[in-house]
Structure 1
Amino acid sequence: MSTDIRQVGSDADLTRIGELISRSFDHLGANHYLVPDEQQRLRVMAGYFGLLARYAAEGAGQVHVTGDGTAAAVWFDRTGEGDLPEYEKLLAAAAGEFLPQFQQLDEVFDANHPTEAHWHLAFLAVLPEHWGKGIGTALMNHTHRRLDAEGVAAYLEATNAQNVSLYRRHGYTDMDPFVIHVSHVPFYRMWRPANPA
């Protein structure tokens, strides 16, 4: 399918992308663990996702969004030493009373992050009413083509078995350990070598 994809840079776009990811991920166990209060979940998660999207867009990686604003991908460049200035302070402001859950997430993810050079697909989000249309695939392929041309691998933490199947179809393989847990919530570590067979 043909999907118009652009790279994001403006603050207004990043705020909307935080909200888009929050809506797209609202069904996930991870979001429910991070913010148990359903009255606050969408707002708090939008602030968190928007914070990370801003870091990526401002030099730590790249953010891509479809032209119709129904999907977005947030990537971090892990081929060198990345820096997220004032991250702890800004995370605390975004997470509020739920900060301990977000800190636990970061601790588990950091402890299990691969050391090899790669790009990290932090979030691939499609609004629920647009699932199954190939939009997520188009967003992934947009960056995979560049990574393959540059000989760079990719990494992600999938959130459920359905996503694992999707990523396997795009060249990602299970890592060891494959399953990691943040409290009771499982995540699935996956690696895509450059130019996978």
Structure 2
Amino acid sequence: MTGNRIRPGDPGDTDGVADTLAAAFSDYAWTRHTISADDHVRRVRDLQRLFVERIGLPHGRVWVANGPADVVAAAVWTTPESTGAGAAFADLAGLMPALAGDRAFAATSAEKALTPHRPTEPVWFLATVGVHPAHQGKGLGRAIVEPGLAAADAAGVPAFLETSEAGNVAFYRKLGFEVTAEVELPDGGPTTWALRRAPRR
């Protein structure tokens, strides 16, 4: 990996995280299915910014990787303690139809399809993670995820995530995750995999 510094995120990172995640997710199968093509990157950025600002930083955990000028990778987790963010999650859900635009129906049906496969036990949930396309292939994906895995291990709880890219499954398996569900999303949506990693001592 190059000499990027991995550190906990803070409110001053919000815009940089949003920019990086918007670039990373601009052509991601899930976001293409659930967020309107009209002004797509701006919509994805707004969604990522809201999640970081209202959920990740105040109620979860965020790690960032700094390049020479700005954030080049970020990982945002919710934790068992994030259950206190109920009002923030409700507010975000209320904003989702406007962000999704004409794909709001697809976003709703995708969430309904995945909900039965999500854990009911306490977990560290890797809600969003991305590396700016200009900095991919340098080991940053693993590096930005590992602090959250270590924290989940220290807490003695599993880690969980979902991905809609088949190529990501092998990457996460190398980090100790196992597939717990493979879901064909309705309305022509992409296959989405649920993955769980048992805590390590």
Q: Which runs of 5+ in 2 are unaligned?
A: none
Alignment RMSD (CA, Å) = 2.2
Cα-to-partner distance string for 1:13-37 (whole Å, 9 max, x where unaligned): 2233222112101222222212342
Separation (CA, whole Å) in 2 of partners of 1:67 and 1:16: 10
Separation (CA, whole Å) in 2 of partners of 1:103 and 1:179: 15
Q: 2:78 pairs with 67, 76, 79, which one? A: 76
TM-score (norm: length of structure 2) = 0.85
- Greater helix percent: which structure? 2
Q: Which runs of 5+ in 1 are unaligned?
A: none
TM-score (norm: length of structure 1) = 0.86
Q: Across the two proteins, how many residue pairs are aligned to each other?
A: 193
Partner of 1:181: 185
How far has the Cα of 1:93 moved from its partner? 4.1
For the residue of structure 1 that corresponds to 2:137, the secondary structure is coil
How far has the Cα of 1:105 moved from its partner? 3.1
Separation (CA, whole Å) in 1 of partners of 2:105 and 2:131: 27
Separation (CA, whole Å) in 2 of partners of 1:111 and 1:50: 27
Residue type matched to 2:44 in 1?
A: M
Structure 2 vs 1, CA of residues 13 and 150 (structure 1 numbering), >3 Å: closer, same or farther? same
Separation (CA, whole Å) in 1 of partners of 2:35 and 2:91: 22
Separation (CA, whole Å) in 2 of partners of 1:182 and 1:76: 26
> How much identity, in percent, do the aligned residues show?
25
Cα-to-partner distance string for 1:56-87 (whole Å, 9 max, x where unaligned): 33433111111221111011113663412422
Structure 2 vs 1, CA of residues 129 and 182 (structure 1 numbering), >3 Å: closer, same or farther? farther
Separation (CA, whole Å) in 2 of partners of 1:180 and 1:74: 25
